[in-house]
Homo-oligomer: A and B are copies of this chain.
C-alpha cells in the first residue's frame, strides 16, 4: 500500500503506539524549535534538544513554552552537537536525528564514523518525498541533494537506500524510473548506459525488492497517456514510486520546477545510515516540516 498524500503519513505516525524520540542537533533556533514544539504537541515526536541550553531556553520562552518541560543537552560547538546526537542514537535514547542550525557535515561526520557502527557502507543521499498533484501516489526523488555526479555504484546505493525506505513505508515492490532525456541507450549519455546497467543489477538480484525501468524521459514517466502516444511499453508510467535522477543539478532543477511551477510539495530526509536525518529548510512550510519528522519517525 502506497501513501497518496502527505497528511496520511502524519496520521499514520500519530497512530503509532510508541512515539519516537528525535535528537535535535543545533536546537537553539526559533525556526527549528517552532517545528519541534508543534510536532511534540500533536505527539509526532519526543525531542531531546542539543545546543547552548541558555539560548535554547530563551527561544522556548519566546515561543511561550516552559523550558522545564524539555530535555536538553548542553553542547558548545556545532561539532559537539553532532557528536552528542549520535551518542544518543548509540545509547538507544533517541531513534533519529534532526539537523538544526549547523552544517550537515557536523551531523554526518560522527554518524558515518566506523567506530559508531551506524554506517551501512552505502553512499548516503537525500530521500525527497514528493506530493505531486498529477500523481496518485507519493513519489520519492533522489538524489537532488548530496552527490554531485553519482557513479553507477553510487546510483545503486541510492536505489537501495530509497527502496529500503519505501519498503518500511509499506510499498512492497517499488517501481523505479531511471530518468534521462531520451528512452534509448546512447553511449554518449552515461545516464542511459547506467539505466541499462541498473536494470541488469535488478534482474540478477543485486538490487532486489523493486522494479527498475529506464532510461525514460520525464513526460513518459509522469503520464500513462504520453507513454501510450510515444509507444513506451511500461505499466508504471504515471504511477512510479521513485525517480532516480542523473545528477544533483538535474534532480534539483527538475524537483524545484515541480514545486515552484507545479505546486508539488517536498519533504526531505537523509538516508543511507542506520538512522535517518531530518533536514529542514528555513523556507519549508509547517506541513513540510511535520511530514519530514513523520517520515523519519516511520522509517527509523
Contacts and interface: CB of A to CB of B under 8 A. Distances in A.
Interface of A: 132-134, 144-145, 148, 179-181, 186, 188-189, 191, 217-219, 222-223, 226, 229-230, 245-264, 282-283
Nearest to A250: B250
A205 B256 CA distance: 32
A191 B132 contact: no
A258 B248 CA distance: 18
A261 B229 contact: no
Nearest to A223: B260
- Assembly of this chain: how many copies? 2
Contacts of A261: 132-134, 222, 257-258, 261-264
Contacts of A188: 148
25 contacts: A133-B261, A145-B181, A179-B253, A180-B249, A180-B252, A181-B248, A181-B251, A217-B256, A218-B252, A218-B260, A222-B256, A230-B283, A246-B249, A246-B250, A247-B247, A247-B249, A247-B250, A250-B253, A250-B254, A254-B254, A254-B256, A254-B257, A257-B257, A258-B261, A262-B262
A145 B181 CA distance: 8
Contacts of A226: 283
A181 B254 CA distance: 10
A257 B218 contact: yes
Nearest to A243: B253
Contacts of A229: 282-283
Given A181-B249, A258-B261, 10 more contacts: A133-B261, A179-B249, A181-B252, A217-B256, A218-B252, A219-B260, A222-B261, A258-B262, A261-B264, A262-B262
